[in-house]
Structure 1
Amino acid sequence: MSSLLLAEQVLNGLQLGIMLFLMAAGLTLVFGVMGLINLAHGSLYMIGAFAAAATAAATGSFFLGLIAALAASAAAGALVEVTVIRRLYARDHLDQVLATFALILIFSEGTRWVFGSFPLYLSIPPVLSGPVTLPFGIEYPLYRLALIVAGLAIAGGLFLLVGRTRLGIRIRAGESDREMIAALGVDISRLYTIVFALGAALAGLAGALVGAIQSVQVGMGEPVLILAFVTIVIGGIGSIKGALVGALLVGLTDTLGGLFLPAAFALFMEPSAAASTGAALSSMLIYILMAVILILRPSGLYGARA
């Protein structure tokens, strides 16, 4: 196995991890502040991808598509929070799961009704197309590299927002004691809407960015949602830092597992059997990783201890 192939797969793992972070950050904010299990988060990812693809097709601008993805997913998130989610805060988690699962079906069928059953395609902008040569002769797609850089910049901005701004103070206070900040005069309903819209915007942005390297289709958010839940469980529910570390761990484990396991099994198995066995086991690695971390740290890597 060449070092260039290994370096390329590490970058692929970082890119997957950064996109998972954009999903998981909103999910962990919503759960940490509101105590809400939101299964419809993947649908907001899908809405962002469809909004970006439709806008880019109509205007010819990929970057206007990104703006449309942010606006559409944030608006959808705010609307859902005001009309549906707000009635679920005092309910138990089973009611939340059932209600947000119903939202998945509504969003999927609504998207299919508006855009049809056929996938849409979002083209990479010419300025970001083609490969770029990195140190040591590594050639890597410029767009995927831009995703890594943009994701890290968004992560830095999110850390500053939560840690250094008045809104961030309210978010952290709402996570710790929502009754107290409500008693101090903070409009808790407005805060919840802002947090939910922020999480939705991050999910929609992730969907739009990933939509340029895969097809945009109905149901594309559900597989990513599962990985996002794994990510926040590994990192610790409610922790933005944990979401970033967990996302990078999941991305690298998934990518490098698919690279190393078939090669390892090929040392003592036939190539075809090694490939199938390695592929099957590599898809289980992130869940094995989650189980090991939960055994060692039941609250996750950066979760608050009871």
Structure 2
Amino acid sequence: MAPKISLQRLETFVAVADHGGLSAAARALGIAQSTVSGNLQLLERELGVVLVDRSGRASRLTDAGEALIDHARTLLSLAGEAADRVTRLRKAPVSGVLAVGGTETVAQKLLPRLVTSFACRYPGIEIDLHVDNSAAAVLAVTEGRVPIALVAAETDKPSLESSRVASEPQTMIVASDHPLAGRQASPHRLRGSRILLREEGSASRRYQLDLLKKWQIPNTHTSTIASNGAIIGAVAHGLGIACLPRNCTEDALELGRIGEIHLDPALPHRPINLVRLADRPLTLIEELFLEHVREKEGIQ
């Protein structure tokens, strides 16, 4: 008869393998080192093999340990999925942490609105919000540091699943005393302008550069500023003009700090996508948040 293996002891074994020693595993698990040692010894006794060589300064897996480690990870993952599915059937209030990433433009209004309404629906949850540019937000999801993110960009990474959740109107902003402020104009009326761009890694920058390539405006200069708020301030003081998401500029426009040019043809909207690892199952909180986003944004 095959030996019965304790999931708790498997978790201890994986922690020792991941952290390189018993004391580090104990800290990671939040238990005493003696408990780690005891769990590991019981597991080895159950299987009749030595799994970890403890003779050196750093613990290392034996051949038997190497043979077990991938199976141990799979078993723990399956156990977690099973527990999560059972949790979904409970009538108890939803609790836990919703970790979600977002780009600066999305975090201006859309993401706070969605997260706030979600927290009102499920008051027992905590929110862990990560804001960065598009490249960094997508990388955080790819590396598993953030489970889901809302980004104003497309991604073609095969490991990610991307779904459209909204679109983002854009506007061309200028100083309030600019000759074209409040007027309709073609892109070629912008000749000789200084165009303010976002930093490398920002989807806004890619969008802005694509527009400049398409328009072929003569005698333009570009400057890079790594913040929508700083760009708006620079525009207000006359440093240059910029194309930014409308939701980032609405307050400054209403206050008269800046003006806008009504371009003809109008600026194309940018897609906002929710990205996540394709092969990672959603937790209950993440699944509820995705359903909430679809409901609020009218997505089938």
TM-score normalised by L of structure 2: 0.21
Q: Which has the larger radius of gyration?
A: 2
TM-score normalised by L of structure 1: 0.20
* Bigger proportion of residues as helix: 1
Higher relative contact order, structure no. (Cα contacts within 8 Å, ≥ 6 residues apart) = 1
